[in-house]
Structure formats: structure tokens, C-alpha cells
A and B are shown apart, each in its own frame.
Chain A
Amino acid sequence: MTDFQNPLIETSEIFAMSQNKEIPVAIELKDLQFRWPKADHIILDIPTFTIRSQQHLFVRGPSGSGKSTLLSLLTAINTPGKGRISLLGTDICQLKPRQRDQFRADNIGYIFQQFNLLPYLSVVDNVCLACEFSSKRKQKITTKYSSAKDPIRSEAIRLLTALNLPTDIQNQKASHLSIGQQQRVAAARALMGSPSLVIADEPTSALDHDNREAFIKLLMQEVARSEATLIFVSHDPTLEPLFDQTIDLAQMNQNAQRKTDANQQGECA
């Protein structure tokens, strides 16, 4: 398919070999190509890529390397022009838009870079919002708290407490919180109803170093507790050691590689 050595295949193969074969595959990409409408060049070109369940994956890459595009594909907002995306065993390219939205509501917890919360809702209501569009997530919580009067709220409060958010701010408006607190609320919302995939898009970019590390550790603890697969996107290489596995998107993306090589050849000449 290509003259270039693809570090992705190598990485995923090594990773797969080192893992227990019994652990199911969470994400599988095959021959994936994506081009934005009206754009000249392909922004993502990934021959193959696999992540097993409960893996904590760090995805890094410079600006323009296609991080956001990859996330829009993994969250089933966009579909690739070519190739296959399998999430939790479901080929999401085969789903209708409505089914893809439902799949996202049921299985994906998403943390934005910043401005994660709806400012007009209270902290607890923001967290509970995760169950508004998913009866599956609601059901999971209801089963867990069968005796509670309001199971959704109980789970929201449990998650917020576990993420070190003081009880007295849980009923405040989300707009009253600091950025660090907002990110923890966003993490709580992403974990509500234990979705199988948690995707975090540079959630620590607005935090200082200490808060950043504390946030990631708390996030990982809770992700491990809910047995979810974590995909953490950042351009900050200092966070890399905190994760089981790292992928450099610039290397993954053949297009970027080709461009880099061409530039290198140009420089040599």
C-alpha cells in the first residue's frame, strides 16, 4: 500500500502481542481515509489501528495533525470517505445518523478542551445531563442504585465527590466554578452511566502543571473503576508517562508522514 514504514502497525501489533488475547477490541480502524468537503488533500490516512478495552491511550500530535478530525470520527460525528471504524464491535459507518447519535449517547463520554459545562445548569444537573439522551446509561445507574430515590442524582453526587468536588459547590451554577473544578465536573459527566469509551480532548490545557497531573490521576482512577477505555488527546508530551500507551498522530497519519518526508528530501537537496 505504501513505501513508507508505518509506525502505527508496528505499535498496534507490538501492543496486541503484549496484551492478553482475551481482552476485547475497543476501537479498530481499517484503511481509514478522511477528507473535509471541498478540501484538496486527505487529512487522515490510517491503514490500521487497534485499541483494546480498558487501555489508557495518549494521543499526541502538533496542531493540524488531525487530532480533532480523528475525534470527530471516533465520536461518530463525521464518517470517513473510505475505510472502516469499529467501535466496541460495531461498524459505525454502517449506522444511520440517528443510530450513530444514539451510539454516542450510550457508549461515549466526552470531555472538551474548555467551556465544558452548560452555564445555566447547576453542577449536579450538568452531570445528570449525560443520561438525558441515553436510556442505556440511565438503566445502568438505576440498576446500581435500585433503592435510591433519585439514582441519577445519587450517582452524579458520588462521582463529583470521588473527583474531589466539595459538596457545597455541587448545587451551584456551573459558571461559578474555577476551570479546574469545571474540568472535574466534565469528567464526572463523561463517566456517568459507565460508558465504554471516554474521550478527552486536551482537557488539561487550561490547567497548571500540578492541577494537570492531579486531574489526570483522578480521571484515570475513575475510568479504571468504570472499566472504560480512555483516549486522551494532548500536545503536551510531559503527560505521556502517565499513560499505558502513546500514539503520535503525526506518525500515524501517513499523509503527515509523507509531507514530513517530502520536506526532509527538499531540505537535503
Chain B
Amino acid sequence: MKNLLRLAFNSLLNRKTTILLSIFTIAISVLLLLGVEQVRTQAKNSFANTISDTDLVVGARSGQINLLLYSVFRIGNATNNIDWKTYRDFQNHQSVKWTVPFSLGDSHQGFRVLGTNTDYFKHYKFGKKQPLTFSQGKAFNQLFEAVIGADVAQTLGYKLQSPIILAHGMKDVGFTKHDNLPFKVVGVLAPTGTPVDKTIHVSLAAIEAIHVGWESGAFLGHAPSADSLKGREFEPKQITAFLVGLKSKIHTFKLQRQINDYRLEPLSAIVPGIALHELWSLMSVAEQALLIVSIFVVIAGFLGMLASLLTSLNERRREMAILRALGARPQHIFSLLVLESGIICGLGILLGMGLLYLILAMASPLIQQHYGLAINLMTLSNYELMLIGCIQLSGLIIGIIPAVLAYRQSLSDGMTIRI
């Protein structure tokens, strides 16, 4: 077997141009299949890792995906706000351990601004119940102080003490800016691979303060000075959503039902894990389509390899006759061909995996920057190993076709080849 393997390897080297093309075809199909699988799994993980240890997310009445998207992923807008009194009601609920209020609606150079309180830094968790940590500075405790996410700091080049002018809404144009009330960066959060990295955090009071004079939705009143505002107490009238942590998980559905049935205001409470699952299942059609396309690419790769093996077969009848003359059995000829296709396939898989990791290593900072998806260079999962195993096995099975033909030829040719 060892000698046959060496022969097969040397024979392939002799036809390196066509074989290299076959190896590349297999490599590209493997790259695509594993790439789709990696991005799918990691995107799913990244999605699922966005929020953890939060039992309920509460917002104005809407669909659970919409609520999840605007509150956690900062995508889209809230349908309505929640009254501050309502928030206080549930904050004091006997089952509730902690709450974190969210007030959204402002932005800074395309990054969303989140008004919250310091409980956010204590209770908001991502990944495997990892808390937020500061890479520089600390949480805000003054009115016009801001804590920025890692991406904001990196993209805009902000450091501690950098000034920030917030804009009303998502449009960062002159007449919507709160430019008389600049904020100061007092903390930079460590990267999390979640939308937190793209968020500017300020206090709820600051959100109220910058909107003095903006009650109609646009700035019509006079501009109060920062100093005059600092002396005032601000209590929000409305917030966008809030996160709830319970004393006991058992109460999750009971409280969810209570919130959904709340008489004073139409509310929706969602369990983040269930909403994430529903959101992901929406994408499963695209996911399946991608997987099917990749499988077809793998099949096309195999057909390419088969074509090149079959084309070379006739030219190699004399090679087979020489081996037969030296005592090789037809089974040896059969094994030689199957081994060749196995080697092509194996090398294609290795090259494909190498390319995959190279591309992931090169592209992951870009993907992280542009799409907020954290793609890590992980070892292959069992499912991926099974996919690779299937590809290798299929390579060997495909090799049976030229092997059977060569076997038959070597039986009929013997040592007299008439080409």
C-alpha cells in the first residue's frame, strides 16, 4: 500500500498541471462549503452571544423580532415609548431583581446613542454571561459624560476626554445637532463583538437634558447652557425599552404574561433566547439555499476531477501494462486509481481549509468592523469534520469509476497496448 501510495503520488506529480487544477477546484468547493458553514455558525453564535443573563426585554407593543432588533441590535426604530411610571412599576415588582432602562433615538456620526443608567454596566451581559469591562476610564456619573464602545473609539479615534456632539435622530446634519451641549468621553468599553461596541452610552438624565427645547421634535426654544442644566434634576418621562433580570427564572413566563396583559399601557415582553431563535429561523431559508449551492459546487468540483482522471486514463494504459508486467494485480491498478482520486481530494480539502483560515484571518477584522459579526478562528466542529469526511469519502467513491475502467482495460490489454 505504501509503495502504491508513492506511485500514485509520483504519477500525479507527473501530471501536475491538470491535477493542480483539479485540486484547486476541490479546494474552492471545500472553501465555499466550510466558509458558508463557518460564517453561518459564527454568525449564529455572534447573534446568540449579543445578550445573555437577561430574562426579559420589555418595550411598547410590537412583534418580538422588532423589539429585539431595536432594543438589542439597535436596528430599526421603536414603535412607541414606555411611560416612566410603568417602568417604575415593574422595577419594584416582587419577582424582579434588576432592571436596566434604555432610551434610544439620538446618534453620533452614525453610531446610536443609548441613554441608560449605571446598572447597565453592572447587569448587561453578553456571550457566556460576560459582563462589560472598561478598557479605559469608568462609567459616567456626571450629566454630560459618555461611555463609548470599542468600535466607536477605534473608528472615530476617540480617547478619554474627547468631545462628542450628539445629533437628534439618526441624521447627523447641522440643524439636528445638540451642538451647544457637548459630551465628554469618560470611559471606553472593551470589545465585545456585539452592538455594544457601536454604541455611545450616556445617562438617562443627559438624554432628557439635551432635549430641553426639543419637545416638539425639533429645536424651537432657546438653548439652555450646560451649566444651567447641570444644576437641574432630570427624571425621564418616557423610555424606549428596558431589560429585566429576575430573582428566579421560574417566574419568567408569569411575568411575561403580566407585562403583556398590562392594562395601563400596551407592552410586549420577550424572552431574548426565544426571540433570537425566531430571528435566526427566519434566515434559515437563505442558510439552506447557501448550503445547497455549496454542495452543488462540491459536486461540480468532483465532476471536474472525474473528467481529468478519465481523460488521462487512455494515455496511461501503457503505464498500467508496465505495472502488470511487473506483477501488479488488477486490484493494484484499481487501488492506484482510487488512491489518486483520494490524494487529489485530500490535498484539495487541505488547501481549501488553508485558504479558509487565511481568508477568515484576513477578513474577520473587516467583517467585525462593517457588520459587527465576530468571526473567530476556531477549530473545526464535529459537523464540519463530518462534512470533510463526506467529501473525502465521495472523492474515493468517484475514483471508483476510472478505477473500474482501468481495471477492465488492464485485464483486456494485458501487455499489448494498441492505442
Contacts and interface: CB of A to CB of B under 8 A. Distances in A.
B414 A72 contact: yes
Contacts of B322: 112, 116-118
Interface in B318-363: 318-319, 321-322, 324-330, 332
A102 B325 contact: no
Given A77-B414, A77-B415, A112-B415, A101 B328 contact: yes
B414 A120 contact: no
A108 B3 CA distance: 20
Interface string A87-130: 00000000001100110111010101001111111000000011
Interface SS of B by simple majority: helix
Given A72-B414, A78-B414, A110-B415, A133 B326 contact: yes
A102 B327 contact: yes
A71 B416 CA distance: 9
A118 B319 contact: yes
Contacts of A101: 324, 327-329
Contact of B325 (A97, A98, A112, A121): A112
Contacts, number: 64
B325 A133 contact: no
Contact of B321 (A106, A108, A112, A132): A112
Interface residues of B, number: 21
A260 interface: no
Nearest to B329: A101
Interface in B205-249: none
Interface in B1-20: 3, 7, 10-11, 13-14
Contacts of A78: 414
A6 interface: no
Given A112-B321, A118-B322, A120-B13, A105 B414 contact: no
A192 B286 CA distance: 63
A108 B7 CA distance: 21
Contacts of B321: 112
Given A104-B327, A105-B326, A112-B322, A133 B10 contact: no
A130 B322 CA distance: 10
Given A112-B322, A120-B13, A132-B3, A106 B415 contact: no
Contacts of A72: 414-416
A134 B326 CA distance: 8
A253 interface: no
Which interface residue of A72, A106, A119, A133 has the most chain B CB atoms within 10 A? A133
A21 B193 CA distance: 93
A112 B323 CA distance: 12
Given A117-B322, A120-B13, A133 B327 contact: yes
Nearest to A115: B318
Given A110-B415, A115-B318, A129 B10 contact: no
A64 to B, nearest CB: 13
A211 interface: no
Contacts of B319: 118
A101 B324 CA distance: 8
A95 B67 CA distance: 81
Contacts of A130: 326
A30 to B, nearest CB: 22
B231 to A, nearest CB: 89
A94 B414 CA distance: 19
B332 A133 contact: yes
Contacts of B329: 97-98, 101
A19 B162 CA distance: 111
Nearest to A77: B414
Given A78-B414, A118-B322, A120-B13, 10 more contacts: A75-B415, A77-B414, A101-B324, A104-B325, A108-B325, A110-B415, A115-B318, A117-B322, A121-B10, A134-B327
27 contacts: A68-B416, A75-B414, A77-B324, A77-B415, A78-B414, A97-B329, A97-B330, A101-B324, A101-B328, A101-B329, A104-B327, A106-B327, A110-B325, A110-B326, A112-B322, A112-B325, A117-B322, A118-B319, A120-B11, A120-B14, A121-B10, A130-B326, A132-B3, A133-B326, A133-B327, A134-B327, A189-B326
